[in-house]
């Protein structure tokens, strides 16, 4: 399962490959000193895979997340998302990809504090250019799907940590993205709530959602079907595990 | 993101921070208040001056032949003394000028003095005594409310008849119709034949305390030395005809006064334009100073808004990061912050417009000064206010739009 396609520069990924990185590298210029955060990561993720990315701090997993999430562009290498080469797109084109193809779930939830749960979930739809009525309908449906149908008018500070993370999941999924990208989603939650959240992720995976999750907790990574470990900017291990 | 969406969001943000928003918009508020208020007053004065003041004192397409100008502004002493040495306008001058005019005109003699009018033991003091010929009423647009004006025959014969101003009639005859009764002016009886319609006031001075008697009636002794008239009033049908009549009048008068070509006129022909000169000088100063003050207030207001917006961008860096991660493009963020700055300035401007109008109305209610809110000034207020917002918002908004999403998301 590790080597899905022998990819060479100039090739196009197979149709069921959602994420394909080829010798992806990212250097940072830290005041004259070049830090090589990623040194050639080649990774392929199929539709409906559930992948955990692990590794110690400084291993490059955040950099990989930013690249896969189209928040950053690589120094070298290729990145194909859903059959489209995105590694050399412009700022605005990347914004569009983030809007349509990627749903983010962050460790710190990253909800707008002054907006209601409903408005927070509406945000991606605003940037997608949907009319107001449709937006509200979609957002309400997404909130109901994560079990917060009765909390739509609450602001983030009126919700518990688990509920906030559910709002964030509803927001991530409201545009039906190709991948759900979770960065330490349980980092700010207690173990009971974490377990609940993993339940939600498991359900989504069973419904066909592709999930990529960065974590440093082994028991959280255990929920994923495949674990990729990074070390010093390269992939150290990539293995499937029994569900 | 849709443009309306950006405006809605901006208004929400402003509503969420009312006090802060009010303070940040205060510069624009003051600027626009001053713009509307000052403009209304100057505008009102302007209209008042052109329509009423000049029209009342001289009249449209009309000029007065006088010894010296009646309405003056900032005249030097030596000039004033020279005017006093000039010969007066004589009855014979007025007759000769009238005969010498070939353009169609209406003319009237006019002299005025001050005195008291008596009826039945009641005395009205400080009344304008006017000696005039019959066409005076037409030229000055004085409509007769009751009774009639005097006839050409009465005018020529100098009959002792009199037409009263409205306030004077009210004072002397509170209960009865004055027409047919007899009033005494300096002891001599005059029969009241009419009352003029109410004229209102000019800068707070009543225009209804007067009597008009034929110029050749005994009232001539109360207003001027014998054979002297204050003014010959000439009204033409149009401006060019008035100019021609003025040229003819000048020619007749110069020949009667035996003036050599080098010598200046020793008489004056006053038009409403001449009266307006005085006002124009004043309003020119106001129009020069006003925009400067408004400009300063708006520049300061713009700087305040720019600072507030820079602070808002710094405070909301994380929000910007979140929005970018959810698919906001640079132009979406730019639009959001531009809309916010513009909305802030426009709210300030709107408050300024309301306050400016209220101020000018208040001034109008408390003083005889008129105010007239010009619709154009309202449009200008909104446009200038919004413009200040856009200009002040460009830099902060473009900084927000250029933020790197990863760095912005990392911000605490």
Q: What does the pLDDT look like over A108-138, one tens digit per residue?
A: 999 999 899 999 999 999 999 899 899 999 9
The nearest CA of chain B is from the CA of A200 a distance in Å of: 21
Would you place residue A222 in the very low, low, confident or very high pLDDT band (cuts 50, 70, 90)?
very high
Residues of chain A with Cβ-Cβ distance to B406 below 8 Å are 66, 71-72
Q: Enumerate the β-bridge partners of residue B212.
A: B130, B163
> E strand or H helix at B270, and its extent?
strand B268-271
Smallest CA-to-CA distance from A183 within A106, A69, A108, A71 is with A106
pLDDT at B1 over 90: no
CB B173 within 8 A of CB B146: no
pTM: 0.69
A194-218: per-residue pLDDT in tens?
A: 999 999 999 999 999 999 999 989 9
Neighbours of B81 (CB within 10 A): 9
B38-88: per-residue pLDDT in tens?
A: 888 887 777 777 766 666 666 778 899 999 888 776 778 888 888 889 999
**What distances in angstroms separate CA A213 from CA A181, A222, A231, A239, B342, one per listed residue?**
6, 11, 16, 15, 41
Do residue B327 and residue A100 have CB atoms under 8 angstroms apart?
yes
Give the model's pLDDT for residue A243.
58
Calpha distance A154→B106 (Å, rounded): 83
CB B66 within 8 A of CB B231: yes
* B327 part of contact set with chain A, CB < 8 Å: yes
**What distances in angstroms separate CA B170 from CA B144, B181, B196, B236, one per listed residue?**
15, 14, 11, 34
What residues contact residue B7 under an 8 Å CB cut-off, 6+ apart?
B339, B343
Beta strands A234-240 and A226-231 are antiparallel
3-state secondary structure of A37: strand
Do residue A98 and residue B325 have CB atoms under 8 angstroms apart?
yes
Give chain A's end-to-end CA distance (angstroms, integer).
15
* B393 part of contact set with chain A, CB < 8 Å: no
DSSP A157: G
Would you place residue A2 in the very low, low, confident or very high pLDDT band (cuts 50, 70, 90)?
very low
* B2 part of contact set with chain A, CB < 8 Å: yes
B305-338: per-residue pLDDT in tens?
A: 999 999 999 999 999 999 999 999 999 999 999 9
Share of residues in chain B with pLDDT > 70 (%)? 96
Smallest CA-to-CA distance from A104 within A148, A62, A134 is with A62
Do residue B325 and residue A123 have CB atoms under 8 angstroms apart?
no
For A93, the closest chain B residue by CA position comes to: B329
Residues of chain A with Cβ-Cβ distance to B332 below 8 Å are 95, 127
* A114 part of contact set with chain B, CB < 8 Å: yes
User: What's the whole-number mean pLDDT along residues B344-369?
Assistant: 86
CB pairs below 8 Å between A and B: how many? 60
Would you place residue A1 in the very low, low, confident or very high pLDDT band (cuts 50, 70, 90)?
very low
Share of residues in chain B with pLDDT > 90 (%)? 50
Residues of chain A with Cβ-Cβ distance to B2 below 8 Å are 126, 129
Smallest CA-to-CA distance from B29 within B389, B345, B291 is with B345
CB B386 within 8 A of CB B25: no
Give the model's pLDDT for residue A241.
83
Calpha distance B265→B255 (Å, rounded): 11
* Vertex B296 angle, CA B26 and B279, to 5°: 110
B217-254: per-residue pLDDT in tens?
A: 999 988 888 899 999 999 998 889 999 999 999 999 99
Give the model's pLDDT for residue B56.
67
CA torsion, ordered A183, A185, A189, A193, to nearest 10 deg: -170
Calpha distance B335→A52 (Å, rounded): 38
Q: Which fold has domain A46-73+91-240?
A: Rossmann fold (3.40.50)
């Amino acid at each position: 399962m590790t080597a899905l396609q022998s990819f060479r520069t100039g090739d196009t990924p197979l149709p069921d490959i959602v994420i394909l990185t080829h010798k992806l590298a990212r250097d940072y210029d830290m005041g004259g000193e070049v830090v090589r955060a990623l040194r050639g990561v080649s990774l392929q993720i199929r539709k409906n895979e559930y992948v955990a990315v692990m590794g110690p701090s400084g291993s490059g997993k955040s950099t990989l997340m930013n690249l896969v999430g189209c928040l950053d562009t690589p120094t070298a290498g290729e990145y194909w998302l859903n059959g489209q080469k995105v590694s050399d797109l412009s700022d605005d084109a990347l914004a569009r990809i983030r809007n349509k193809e990627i749903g983010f779930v962050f460790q710190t939830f990253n909800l707008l504090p002054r907006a209601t749960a409903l408005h927070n979930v509406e945000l991606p739809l605003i940037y997608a250019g949907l009319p107001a009525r449709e937006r509200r309908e979609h957002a309400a449906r997404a909130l109901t799907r994560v079990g917060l149908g009765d909390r739509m008018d609450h602001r983030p500070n009126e919700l518990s940590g688990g509920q906030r993370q559910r709002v964030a999941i509803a927001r991530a999924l409201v545009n039906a993205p190709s991948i759900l990208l979770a960065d330490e989603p349980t980092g700010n939650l207690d173990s009971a709530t974490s377990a609940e959240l993993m339940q939600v992720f498991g359900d989504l995976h069973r419904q066909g959602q592709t999930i990529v999750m960065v974590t440093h907790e082994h028991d959280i990574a255990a929920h994923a079907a495949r674990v990729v470990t990074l070390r010093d900017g390269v992939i150290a291990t990539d293995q499937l595990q029994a569900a | 993101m849709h443009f309306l969406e950006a405006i809605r969001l901006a208004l929400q943000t402003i509503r969420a921070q009312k006090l802060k928003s009010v303070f940040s918009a205060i510069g624009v508020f003051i600027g626009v208040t001053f713009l509307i208020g000052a403009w209304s007053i100057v505008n009102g004065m302007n209209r008042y001056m052109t329509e009423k003041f000049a029209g009342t004192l001289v009249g449209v397409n009309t000029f007065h032949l006088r010894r010296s100008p009646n309405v003056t502004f900032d005249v030097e002493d030596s000039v004033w003394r020279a005017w006093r040495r000039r010969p007066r306008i004589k009855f014979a001058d007025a007759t000769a000028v009238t005969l010498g005019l070939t353009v169609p005109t209406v003319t009237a003699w006019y002299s005025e003095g001050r005195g008291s009018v008596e009826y039945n033991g009641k005395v009205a003091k400080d009344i304008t005594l006017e000696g005039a010929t019959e066409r005076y009423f037409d030229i000055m647009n004085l409509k007769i409310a009751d009774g009639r004006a005097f006839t050409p025959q009465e005018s020529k014969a100098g009959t002792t008849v009199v037409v009263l101003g409205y306030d004077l009639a009210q004072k002397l005859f509170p209960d009865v119709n004055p027409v047919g009764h007899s009033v005494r002016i300096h002891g001599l009886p005059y029969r009241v034949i009419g009352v003029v319609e109410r004229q209102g006031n000019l800068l707070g001075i009543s225009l209804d305390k007067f009597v008009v008697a034929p110029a050749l009636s005994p009232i001539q002794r109360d207003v001027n030395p014998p054979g002297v008239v204050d003014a010959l009033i000439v009204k033409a049908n149009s401006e060019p005809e008035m100019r021609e009549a003025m040229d003819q009048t000048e020619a007749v008068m110069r020949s009667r006064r035996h003036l050599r070509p080098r010598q200046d006129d020793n008489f004056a022909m006053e038009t409403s334009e001449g009266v307006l000169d005085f006002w124009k000088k004043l309003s020119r100063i106001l129009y020069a100073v006003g925009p400067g003050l408004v400009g300063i207030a708006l520049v300061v207001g713009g700087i305040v808004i720019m600072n507030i917006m820079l602070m808002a961008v710094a405070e909301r860096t994380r929000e910007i990061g979140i929005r970018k991660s959810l698919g906001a493009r640079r132009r979406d963020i730019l639009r959001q912050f531009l809309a916010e700055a513009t909305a802030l300035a426009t709210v300030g401007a709107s408050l300024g417009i309301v306050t400016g109008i209220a101020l000018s109305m208040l001034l109008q209610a408390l003083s005889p000064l008129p105010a007239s809110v010009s619709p154009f000034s309202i449009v200008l207020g909104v446009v200038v206010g919004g413009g200040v917002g856009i200009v002040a918002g460009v830099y902060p908004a473009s900084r927000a739009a250029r933020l790197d999403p990863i760095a912005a998301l990392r911000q605490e």
